Structure formats: C-alpha cells, structure tokens
Amino acid sequence: MGLSHVMSRRSWIRGTAIILPLTAALLAGCGTAAKNDTYDLSAAAVDGTGPSAKNKQILIADPTALKALNSDQIVIRVSPSEIQYLSRSQWSDTLPRMVQSKLVQAFENSGKLGGVGKPGQGLAIDYQLVTDIRSFEIDAASGNKAVVEISAKILNDRNGTVRAQQVFRATAPAGGDNVSFVKGLGRAFTSVTDQIVGWTLKSI
C-alpha cells in the first residue's frame, strides 16, 4: 500500500473516517512500485534584526529525536498514540540532519555571528546550540495541521553550563495532498527556525 506503520499493521482506513480527505492522498497509487517523491526544507530567510554577536562562534550540535522522527520518512499523526508515514514521499536526508543543516544556514543568513558550524569543522566555539525535535508531523486528527516543535539549549562551551533553554512550536495549515503537507511543514519549520535564531542572538 505504500504506507509504513509504527504501531500496528492495521489498515489506514479502519477507524479513521474523520480523516477521509487525507486518506485519498495517502492511498493514491496503492499497489504500484512508483518511486518516492523527495522533498527538501528551505532555510529560513531571517530578518536580521536581532542583536549582533560578531565576536561569538556557535556550534549546531546534532539534533536528537525519537526513532519515529529519526529517518527520512514524513510523519502523519493519526491519533495521540498512532502514527503512519506519508506514502510515496520522503525527505532528502534524515530529518535531524536536515534540521541541523537548515539551522546552520539560517544563522549564516542572519549575518550576525562571527562563525557557525557543525561538529568536526574545527571551530573555536563559544557556545553550542543543542536541539531535540519533539514534533515534526502532520496532525491528521486536527484537520491536517502541520506541527513543528523543537526544544533548544544554549551551552557555554567553556564551562558546560546552560545559558538558556526554551521550547519553540509553530503550526501551519497543510492542505490535502502530499505537496501541501510538505509545504505546511516547511512553513511551520521556518517559523520555529526564525524564533530560534532570534532567541539565540539575544541570549549570547
């Protein structure tokens, strides 16, 4: 059928009549061997109005996530305890690696830092941004709403203390087909990224 299920092997349709508009998109092409469409996320075009920190360098640590999110699959939440993956669709990389890459790009686009990079790039860093992806999904039970929630901590790399921590969340309408779902997730992620960049610049 083109659907992966992490809770059971029950049919998508069984007991889910409240999300029929989503069902049609998910089941399109059942029984075919069509290759998955591959999607990317856009880096947030941050407004650059935050304070400058040109004398600071930060490292964007590898984001953590539960197994259900730590893959290239696009998550559809059917109920609070049940998820499925969007059929015939996938991210261009694992979700944590994509989030990390887009966060780096967003900080670079801000033009407010002396340097930003990933582990292994040899930066003499002042702070680490440590993130955990809590939600990155289409909430089908709430009318196909894109939900992105990421917790973030700023660690002083010199002494290991937490400078600041906060949870960032955004939602966006997600339409009724695969492309619309991905666009909705992109909008919600852009909002969260913009919040994280502004908060980090103010905190360091």
| Whether residue 3 has pLDDT greater than 50 | no
Largest CA distance in the chain: 57
**Average pLDDT of 165-170?**
98
- Gap between the Cα atoms of 114 and 123, Å rounded: 11
> Which pLDDT score is estimated for 58?
96
State the average pLDDT for the chain: 84
- Gap between the Cα atoms of 72 and 24, Å rounded: 22
- What are the tens digits of pLDDT across the range 82-123? 999 999 999 999 999 999 999 999 999 999 999 999 999 888
What domains lie within the chain, and their CATH numbers?
Answer: 17-41+62-99+132-203 (3.40.50.10610)
- What are the tens digits of pLDDT across the range 37-82? 999 998 777 665 668 888 999 999 999 999 999 999 999 999 999 9
Q: What are the residue ranges of helices labelled H in 55-139?
A: 95-110
116: tokens are 């930003």
C-alpha to C-alpha distances, 116 to 110, 126, 177, nearest whole angstrom = 11, 10, 36
- What are the tens digits of pLDDT across the range 172-191? 999 889 999 999 999 999 99
> Which pLDDT score is estimated for 42?
80
Strands 127-139 and 64-65: parallel
> Which pLDDT score is estimated for 49?
63
| Whether residue 200 has pLDDT greater than 50 | yes
Bridge partners, 58 (sequence order):
116, 127
> Which pLDDT score is estimated for 31?
42
> Which pLDDT score is estimated for 15?
32
| Whether residue 16 has pLDDT greater than 90 | no
